[in-house]
Structure 1
């Protein structure tokens, strides 16, 4: 049998090369090189064949193998966050970086922009770079093969959104925080909801907490469309027009969008947001929040990664958000 048709068992005992991938996919070596380097000007059928060959062979380009001897550590952790433009994620990354700095380790941080394909490319690339452990905020949707592959190579810590492939999950009790916030607001009457897609685990949990607090959900005053601050402003304005008596905003961007809607309408309703944000204390009145502190999340994730590298098996870390009442929850 030729290498191109060899079974996976026949590759046992040696590391597959890029040339092996080219032969298995029946494409040129340069085409495989362009594919693994992230070039996008490759036809979809060729790309699919190459990707399938990579999966079949278990090929992984190792960019640092020549510089790291067996048994050594690179003293580098990898971190993939959801969106570098979101202050929550940048705050979390900064805390993780501080833990690394205390140990004289390096942290490599990248943003998936909540895109599963980009997440997969980043995951593979960081493992290729020989990070000693990987911390990830997985994008919305189903579990990804790339994360399962990575977990077979390095210890993986899933942050904020648990994963069945992670050796340790570090996350907040989102449902509890949302439920406590909405129960506080229910004394005013109908509580509207503004959040992002429930395809995102955190949003699903926060909406679950909201639903448990209100009992019977009125779809007229629920919006899952707040992907951006402008989306949130539009959604909050719609709920003001619908006559809500109070508002729960399920992340920091939704909270800022709601403040913009209040300013445009010249009126406000009692509100509590989920996640702290810089402008919360500057609003009038200051915005109350269920605070899932990003610095606590980042530090706990990095410490879990180092525990795994030390040979321990740390349990999942479930953090409790603090309900910080500043006045916006009142009329």
Structure 2
């Protein structure tokens, strides 16, 4: 006799079809977001799915279609705002495209660690994988991996040949420098992020190129670690050693620290020193003063990453994609102080 504690049978597609009074083929069309289903029928099927708490057997779907409708996302060992927002955006874009997401975090950047999380995703028969990889070490590991499914890397493509989605760092530097030059600034300093991060290096190189192209004096670059504390410490050092009229911080958190350092040392922003950040975090407009910054469109990064990956899954080649940044002008930048003022 069956046990009283036998596990209840999971609802099937046939159960959904019976409750919604439609065919199994109609349920399948609704699940796969196919056309030729009336809105009334679609709503009836969706109500039946919710009432039965029906979930597709992705393994069975994969056997029939050769696609699991599951994508993997690998976080290569970071805990900063930019990569976190990128992962969220990729996750949203995948769901909008009708895919489930299996997320894996690599606790270190060793080949063994990344290989382990990759294998865990491949065991789930994912259709493709997005790597969010801000470090040179992570890119090196990914480059050496043999991956049996299509992959997209969210990182600058300057060192390794991958299908990549990246922010246009040349445009970032152009927006920052040109904005400051338009305000008559000539002594500009860049506060870079840690140089084992690819974006930090590429952004710094782009900054130097744009400063030289504008025929401005090339002042030393200072390096922080993305935190507000490092922005504060480097900000005080910058004013002691270089005394620029404008500072471009490689992220908004460091810009926050710079603003605090300037206030502590008696500098007015923007009357004495202008400050630009990068990222346009949610609180940037509430800094004191509200922060001028370069906005990265994380949602567009997510959409482009998933669009490229799905093209690769279907066998269509895609070149790398650059996502354009946007200058957001607030009150932390203003005209350069007059000499001798």
Q: Same fold (TM over 0.5)?
A: yes
How many residues in Structure 1 have an aligned counterpart in Structure 2? 264
Alignment of 1:1-331 (within 5 A): 69=63, 72-81=66-75, 85-112=79-106, 115-117=109-111, 118-141=113-136, 143-150=139-146, 152-162=147-157, 164-166=160-162, 168-186=163-181, 187-215=184-212, 216-219=217-220, 222-242=221-241, 243-267=243-267, 268=269, 269-330=273-334
The 8 Å contact of residues 198 and 207 in structure 1, kept in 2 or not, is answered as no
The 8 Å contact of residues 59 and 68 in structure 2, kept in 1 or not, is answered as no
* Aligned residue number for residue 20 of structure 2: none
The 8 Å contact of residues 273 and 289 in structure 1, kept in 2 or not, is answered as yes
Distance 2:59 2:143 in 1: 21
**Cα pair distance change 1:132/1:212, threshold 3 Å:** same
The 8 Å contact of residues 192 and 248 in structure 1, kept in 2 or not, is answered as yes
CA shift for structure 1 position 119: 3.9
> C-alpha offsets along residues 242-276 of structure 1, whole Å, 9 cap, x if unaligned?
32211001123322322332343343320111211
Residue 188 of structure 1 aligns to a residue whose secondary structure is: coil
> C-alpha offsets along residues 77-119 of structure 1, whole Å, 9 cap, x if unaligned?
1112356643322322222222222233211234447735544
The 8 Å contact of residues 95 and 295 in structure 1, kept in 2 or not, is answered as yes
Residue 319 of structure 2 aligns to a residue whose secondary structure is: coil
TM-score relative to the length of structure 1: 0.70
The 8 Å contact of residues 259 and 275 in structure 2, kept in 1 or not, is answered as no
**Cα pair distance change 1:302/1:66, threshold 3 Å:** closer
TM-score relative to the length of structure 2: 0.68
Instruction: For structure 1, list consecutive stretches of 5 or more residues without a partner in the other structure.
Output: 1-63
* Aligned residue number for residue 5 of structure 2: none
Distance 1:240 1:249 in 2: 14
The 8 Å contact of residues 256 and 287 in structure 2, kept in 1 or not, is answered as no
* Aligned residue number for residue 55 of structure 2: none
Residue 259 of structure 1 aligns to a residue whose secondary structure is: helix
Distance 1:327 1:113 in 2: 39
Residue 315 of structure 1 aligns to a residue whose secondary structure is: coil
